[in-house]
Structure formats: C-alpha cells, structure tokens
Amino acid sequence: MIARASDRRFSEERGQSLVLTLLVLFVLAIALSTVIIFTSSNQRTSNYQKAAQVASSLAEAGLNNAISVLANPANQANLENTWATSTNVVLPDNQVDPATGTIPHPAATKAYSGGTAAWWGTLNSDKQWVVTGQGTVKNPTGPGAADIVKKVTALVQVNPPVKSNYDVGVWNTVYSPGVGQACDTSIGQGINISVPVYVGGNLCMGQNAVITTPVYVGGNLTFNNKQGHIGSSGSGNAVSFAHVGGYCQVSSGAQVFPCASEPVGGNNPDTNIWVAGAPTDLRGIPAYFAAITAPKICWSGSPTELASGACTNNPPGGWYNFASPGPLSPCDTQAFGSNPASSGAYPTFDTDGIMNQNNPTVFNLTPAASYSCYTSQGQLSWNATTRVLTVVGTIFFDGSITMTTTGNQPITYTGSGACTASASCQSVIYASGDISINSEKLCAKVNSQGTDCDWSTPPPSGWDPNAKLLILASNGNTGVTVGPSQTSFQGGLYATNTVATGQSAVTEGPLVSGTKTVVLGQQFGGTFPAITIAPFSISQPPGAFTISPPQNFSYSG
C-alpha cells in the first residue's frame, strides 16, 4: 500500500512544461531587451559621433573664416588694431565686459548645413592673433540634451610691411624742380654748399655763395657778385658734372648762352662755373642726375596719385590711411603689451576721416606740457622736462603742425632702439598742411656745450643720418618754413610746394621740394654726411601687413 502511494506521487509531472516555457520566454525576453538596448545605444552613439564630427568641421570652418578675414587685403591696414585702442578692428573678441556682463563685440556667426559656425580673435602682445573657431550642433540624443560644441584655436603671426628697394639719391641733395619765377631757387649770402644741387628752373646765387659739387640748372644761372662761383679755377677744384639749360650771368655782366665752363686757370671769368673738361656748352644732361628725381609720395591714394605711380591700389589708400599714429590709428587710450596708455594733450590727427586739411587746430609738437601717444606700430611723445621728442614709425597729421616751446635750450629727437647704423631710428612726420619750426633748435645730436646742434662732421663726431633721421614732410599750400631766426634743424625737409629757411636759420640735411622751389637763408649748413638709407615711407607707397600660416592648433569641446 505504501509503495503504490509513493509511485503515484512521483509519477505526477503535469505543469512542468509550462514552467519551462515561462523560463525560456523570460530568458528570451531578457536577451531581446539586451539586444534592443544595445542596438539603441549604438545608434545614439553613432548619431552623437556623427554630430560631433559635424561640430568639429564647423569649428574648423569658423577658424578658416577668421583667417580669411586676417588675409583680406582690405583689412591689412588694421591688423594690429585692438578693441582697447581702436574701432577699426578686423575680428570681434567675444569678450565679456566685467562692468556690464555683456559682450560688446560678440563672435561672428554663420549657419551651415547641420549647425552653426562662429569665430573671433584677440591680438596678444607678441603681435599674434589668437583665433578661435567654434562649431555648434543640436544633440541628437534627446530634446533635453545640451548642444554639442567643439572649438579649435590657432596662432597667426602678424608681420610688418615689407620694405622694397628704392633710390635715396634725392635725399643727398638740395632739390627743387619748380619753374616759373626769376629765382626758382635762391642760395643765400655766404653759403658754401658741398652736396649736389638740382634746380629745375632758375638758380640765383647770393653774394659769395659757393657750390663745390655737381649742379643741375634747368633754366638760367645767375651770380649776385663775382665772388660767388660753382667749382673753382684751382687744379682739381672743378665740379665733375654740371648742366645749365639757359644762360649764365655774373652780376651785371653779359648773359652767356649757351653757358660755358671757365677754363682752368682762367683769369677773366665771365660765367663763374668751372666744370671738369671745361665744356663750352653745358646744356648736355649728365648721367649723374638721371636717377635723381622728386620722390612720389602716396598721401591719400587719390586717383591722381594712382595715375602718377605714387600709389598702388593694393592695399588701397595712402599714408593718411596707414600711418600709425595717424587718422585711422589714433593714440592708445589703454596700456597694451609693452606700451603704456597715452597721456597728456596728445594729438587727434584728424577730425572727419578725410584728408582735407580740415583740422582747424595747428598742433604744436613741443608745447609747454609733456604728452605721449602710443599705438601698436609707432609713437609720438614729448618730454618737456628733458626736452626730448620721440618719433617712432610713420606719423600723419591732417592739418598743419608747428614747433614752439619756451626757453632756448636745444631739443633732441630720438626713436626706438639704439639709434645706430645697425639699429636705426628712421621716422617721418607727414602733415597735409604746412609745417613751421619757429625759434627752435631740433637736433639729432646736441653739441658738448648743450647749446645747439652738433654741426661737426663726419660721424662719429657729428650727426650720422644713417643712424638717426627724421624727415618732416608737408603737403600744404605754403610748405615748410624754418625760422625766422635762432632756429636750427638736423634732418630732412620735404614740401610738395616750397621749402624756405630764414636768414639766420641753420639746417643740416636734405632739402627737397616736390613741385616748386627751395629758398635758403644765409645759414644753411651746406653739407651733411652721405645718406645711404632713409625711412621707407618717404620713398614708396604704403605696404600691407602680412600674416604667417596659422600654427599651434588646439582642439577642445
């Protein structure tokens, strides 16, 4: 009986298949869920990675846009401007103003297929643009997920304009091409000139005035008295070259045409000009003067200047646009890099953004109080205590300038660096108006007594123009005036119209008129060391800043 009951218990197996089925289905459900979850995760990951790749591509597109802005020729005049010092800045900086919590110059943006590219940049103290491109794409993993943002940053070095080769011949002369007056160029009483003289029109020699170097006279040559002469009769004292297109006349003597050289040793001179070889006709043009021409200055990039070859249209504009400090590169209002903030009553250079001499104020370069003006490319500063005028680079005033201070102590001008032949200080101050130096002694080098310029030559005892040379250039209707008295200047003077020095004003350096005349008083130094280099801005159109290929790429996000 017991055995039969046990057999019945063990033989009861109904329901086992259901349990096994449920177990199998449960396992299959887990497996299927795992497969679904894994597949969905892979799909989301794939979509995210694809979106991230798009964001990275957009960031690179933004960076390329920033670099193309820097490379645009139209922007090359402003590549070293920053928002701290100028409104002419080529890239937004995307920086938060801590005072307001806003971004005054937000990043530039552009929508592309798949997302948005943004770009901005900042200029560091090494003249490098730190440019950033940013790509933004919607996150495909869900509506509440944050956008995918990728960034790429690079450094772009800004390089200064390239200096081209140019002829400095005219900067070793007294040069005046103008014609139309009885005395287009006048050389005052007692002056002894030992630098080449080029006169396009008529040359008038004052009492006892002497020239001992080659001469070009397009018109007539006249001497006020018999003691004036060009070259002399002594052996080896004749000038090597001379041209006189018209007649020669000594005092009230006869007009000699064609003008002839005196014979060496002649006792009865009637032309007072001695030329090597004693030619009887001085109308031939010597090759010596073939390369000496008036400099073509690119003032504003006007159609007339373009047609004359003074300017190119790449980059557009003239020194009005590119000078720094100047109308489009005003003085820094904040410290930047190694430059402090500008201070004092520094100049504004222009009032209306057009070169038109419309600035009603004649700016005094040397007032009673000190001032300083800094830009990324140049400097104009005056220290009234030490009486030092610092000029770095090319500077442009749309109007007239003067120099007038209290006291009669000399002023020294300087530049940056050591001011040696290997580290020269070559600068130009342009004025679209007139330039006047009144009762000042502006010296490259002061004498040992500290009373005037050092007129001794040659270097190192005196001034070396190849180490330090300041040229003042005027486009005004009058031109450059030095004087009337107790005035000294060491440097170069240029005027589109007339360069005139007072009777007791002393100058040392080239005097060049672009279209008219030079009028010399009685105290022109008459000589200066040969100039082999000159500020490139005085003899060629503005050059463009260039950029080096980007480097130091960095990815983030």
Top pLDDT among 272 and 530 is at: 272
Amino acid at 133: G
Across 1-10, 30-39, 355-364, least confident range? 1-10
User: In the predicted model, what is the mean pLDDT of the chain?
Assistant: 85
Residue pair 535/542 in contact by the 8 Å Cβ criterion = no
pLDDT for res 112: 92
Residue pLDDT, tens place only, 241-276 = 999 999 999 988 889 999 999 887 655 568 999 999
Mean pLDDT of 379-405: 92
The confidence band for 353, taking pLDDT boundaries of 50, 70 and 90, is confident
Determine contact, residues 329/86, Cβ cutoff 8 Å: yes
Identify which has the larger pLDDT, 1 or 71.
71
pLDDT at 270 (0 to 100): 85
Q: What percent of the chain has pLDDT over 90?
A: 40
Closest CA to 474 of 491, 498, 457, 452: 498
**What is the token pair recorded at 280?**
């009887």
* Model pLDDT, residue 360: 79
* Residue-by-residue DSSP string for 355-398: -SS---S-EESS-SS-EEEE-SS-EEEEETTTTEEEEESEEEES
DSSP assignment of 527-542, as one string? --PPP----GGGTSPP
For the chain, the straight-line distance linking the first and the last C-alpha, in angstroms and rounded, comes to: 83
- Give me the pLDDT at residue 334, please: 82
DSSP 180-194: SSTTSEEE-TT-EE-
Rounded (to 5) percent helix, strand, coil in the chain: 15, 30, 55
In this prediction, residue 188 carries a pLDDT of 82
Whether the pLDDT of residue 417 is over 60: the answer is yes
Predicted pLDDT of residue 69: 93
- Per-residue pLDDT band at 511 (split at 50, 70, 90): very high
Kindly state the tokens that stand for 418: 């050591």
H or E segment to which residue 65 belongs: helix 16-71
Q: Which residue has the higher pLDDT, 527 or 55?
A: 55
Instruction: Report the DSSP beta bridge partners of residue 240.
Output: none
- Share above pLDDT 70 across residues of the chain, in percent, rounded to a whole number: 88
Give residue 523's pLDDT. 62
Strands 174-176, 115-123: pairing kind: unpaired
Measured distance CA(67)–CA(50) in Å, rounded: 26
pLDDT digits (tens, 9 = 90+) for 24-58: 676 666 766 665 655 555 566 677 888 889 889 99
Q: Tell me, what's the pLDDT at 13?
A: 59
Sign of CA pseudo-dihedral 212, 214, 219, 220: positive
| Angstrom distance (rounded) from CA 190 to CA 267 | 22
Buried/exposed 109-125: b ≥16 CB within 10 Å, e otherwise: eeeeebbbbbbbbbbee
In this prediction the pTM is 0.76
Alpha-carbon distance 289 to 262, whole Å?
21
Taken in order 442, 447, 451, 455, is the CA torsion positive or negative?
negative
Which of the 8 DSSP states describes residue 481?
Answer: E
Lowest mean pLDDT among 98-112, 176-190, 250-264, 522-536: 522-536
Peptide bond into 484 cis (omega under 30): yes
Q: For residues 134 and 78, is the Cβ–Cβ distance under 8 A?
A: no
